[in-house]
Amino acid sequence: MLVPDLRNPTPTSHDDVLRQFQERLSAGLASGEYEPFVWPYRAFGPGLLMLYLLLPPTKSRFVYYARYPLFALIIYLSTDSILKCRSSMVTTGYGIGLLNAWAVLWSMSLIICNDARGEFRRIERRDDLDANWPVDEADGATTGAGRLVDGGLRARHVDGEAEDSSGSQQENRKSSDASKGEIFVWQTLPPTFYHRLDWVCDLVSNFRGVRWNHQISNLPPPPPHIQSSLKDPSVPSADARSHLTRTDLIRRDLPNFLLCLIALDVLKTVTLRDPYFWGLPPSTPSPFPYPCLFRISLSLVSVYTSLLTIFLLSPLLFGVLMGPEKLGQHAWPWLYPPFFGSVSQVYRKGLAGLWGQWWHQLFRYGFEQAGELAGRATGWKAKSQKGTLLRVAVAFACSGALHACASYTALGNTKPIYGSFAFFMLQPMGIIAQRAVSGWMKSGGLRARIPAWLRGIGNLFVVAIWCYVVGPIIADDFAATGIWLIEPLPISPIRALRGDGFWRWGGRWVRWHSADRWWRSGLAC
């Protein structure tokens, strides 16, 4: 138990830290240094992106070039929110920086690096095509929008309904799945509003691009019956991951979700015993032996478990509980591939496998597009050594910027630049160093004499040492934000058994904020 110093009070519990956050916010609001995050006023940036994408299909040059001043306005609004808005709720405070920074990066990916309104397409089911609809020739996916259909897609558009160029509407009918009588097409920006609204909402929220022509790599291709309907030779062949069923989702995700819930309760109970996880400095004494190793390990496990729990909600909620009966095409099981890859990639490829294939790829497309933009600006091609290094560095810089903005908007004593941002900027250096050593061993013939299993153990050892050395940089910043003070679950059976209470959620989450201007009023959290 920490002994409080009356001259400089030290928190004696995590509740004291939360009270200090509230006091700091109240003082900042009173002085005008901070503003509450108010919805919908502070959501104007993403709202403008949605409104732009919702404009009807048109060849207007004015609409095409309007994306540039629109993007500048989104940058201004998001930056203003990051600089001014704060919240005593840890999740909201962290999210203000993270989500506003992502709004800028995602808007850049959709309307600057690409013309999503004209280039992006989504696989949709059409049970019946009107033979009288007019047909227009158009090019399909262009550079920056052809991950799923490498090499580009030649398509015919039927009043906004994209059809494979190898056949007419009648051929598409014949190639549909015979057992279901279904027809699948590449859907461009739809002409009707409600269809367009669904299309745009999916585009903006589907960061990995599942079922879109900009889908990131390492995700499953469409199932065979969809491919036979599309008759698009550029779509990769279906594999085992393409055959997911609703039952498969239950078997794959439900046990993991239940285990995550138990793990979260255990982790929360354990972290509360160490004042470091309240947001106090690393020099604070720990009740556990080997504090540095314990804190790094627990931070990594907590981040992984928290993210996995959130990621498992979408397949279980949308793909299983609601299903096609309520959500239609949005509940196809193959639309919910895992967010994390196989840990065997770390064994096989070390740090490169850790970040490129095991860790979640939620923001990958946005990072890739930023790297491609930098590559086009410098003229360095993607397959050149300089181009590859540039793209990797830009990707990690974007990730560092997102986490640094989240650290900046938290109320704790954080170090956004020397903490979160520095950690991610060190990662490409570690990857390059490991690859350089591996290349040196290969050129000298040493690598061929080492068994594959021993090389795998070596990769794991390198990753473990790397995390132990550089991990505290971001772990300390995470802890300082107060992110471990949140109650992840509404109930805690373990703490109930210890007499600390069963129900963990409470207090006021949102309130109505009245401002001097009506448009600044709204829900504050």
Is pLDDT of 144 > 70? no
| DSSP secondary structure of 34-72 | -EE-EETGGGHHHHHHHHHHTSPP---HHHHHTHHHHHH
pLDDT at 107 over 60: yes
Collect all residues with Cβ–Cβ distance below 8 Å to 178 and sequence separation of at least 6.
Answer: none
Pick from 312, 282, 261: nearest CA to 493: 261
The per-residue pLDDT for 138 is 35
Q: Which of 233-237, 329-333, 353-357 is predicted with the least confidence, judged by mean pLDDT?
A: 233-237
> What is the average per-residue pLDDT within 324-345?
90
Q: Which two tokens stand for residue 486?
A: 């949140």
What pLDDT is stored for residue 241 in this prediction? Answer: 78
Q: Give the per-residue pLDDT at 152.
A: 33
Q: How confident is the model at residue 9 (pLDDT cuts 50, 70, 90)?
A: low
Q: Is the pLDDT score of 150 beyond 60?
A: no
**Alpha carbon distance 410, 28 (integer Å):** 13
pLDDT tier, 127 (very low <50, low <70, confident <90, very high otherwise): low
Strand-pair partners of 36:
86
Residues with Cβ within 8 Å of residue 281, at least 6 apart in sequence: none
User: What pLDDT sits at residue 441?
Assistant: 84
Could you report the per-residue pLDDT of 407-428, keeping only the tens digit for each? Answer: 999 988 899 999 999 999 999 9
Task: State percent of the chain over pLDDT 90.
Answer: 54
Average pLDDT over residues 71-88: 94
Q: How far is CA 112 from CA 8, 135, 302, 369, 388, in A?
A: 50, 28, 36, 10, 21
Q: How confident is the model at residue 181 (pLDDT cuts 50, 70, 90)?
A: low
Contact 106, 363 (CB under 8 A): no
pLDDT category at 180 given cuts 50, 70, 90 is low
Q: What angle do CA 366, 372, 378 make, to 5 degrees?
A: 140
Per-residue pLDDT tens over the stretch 57-70 = 999 999 999 999 99
| Domain ranges across the chain | 14-115, 119-193+205-243, 245-336
Q: Taking 50 as the threshold, does the pLDDT of residue 135 lie above it?
A: no
What sections of 272-337 are H helices per DSSP?
291-314, 323-327
- What average pLDDT does the segment 255-260 reach? 96
Report the b/e string of 464-494 with b at 16+ CB within 10 A. eebbeebbbbbbbbbbbbbbbbeebeeebee
* pLDDT above 80 (res 239): no
Tell me the residue type at 317: L
- Per-residue buried b or exposed e for 290-301, using 16+ beta carbons within 10 Å of the residue's own CB: ebeebbbbbbee
pLDDT given for residue 20 in this prediction: 87
User: Among candidates 433, 371, 374, 375, which has minimal Cα distance to 399?
Assistant: 371
Q: Which whole number is the average pLDDT over 297-315? A: 95
List alpha helices for 206-244, DSSP H.
224-230
Give yes or no for residue 464 having a pLDDT over 90: yes
3-state class (DSSP) for residue 165 = coil
Q: What is the mean pLDDT of residues 14-38?
A: 88
Q: How far apart are CA 351 and CA 24, in angstroms?
A: 39
Q: How far apart are CA 70 and CA 47, in angstroms?
A: 11
Alpha-carbon distances, residue 131 vs 169, 224, 333, 409 (angstroms): 7, 25, 31, 55
Q: Taking Cα atoms as reference points, which of 172, 194, 171, 168 lies closest to residue 183?
A: 172
How far is the C-alpha of 464 from the C-alpha of 461, rounded, in Å?
A: 5
Condensed to tens digits (0 to 9), the pLDDT of residues 468-510 reads 999 999 999 999 999 999 988 898 899 888 878 888 887 778 8
When the pLDDT of each residue in the chain is averaged and rounded to a whole number, the result is 84
pLDDT by residue (tens digit) across 246-257? 999 999 999 999
Lowest-pLDDT choice from 140-154, 298-312, 326-340 = 140-154
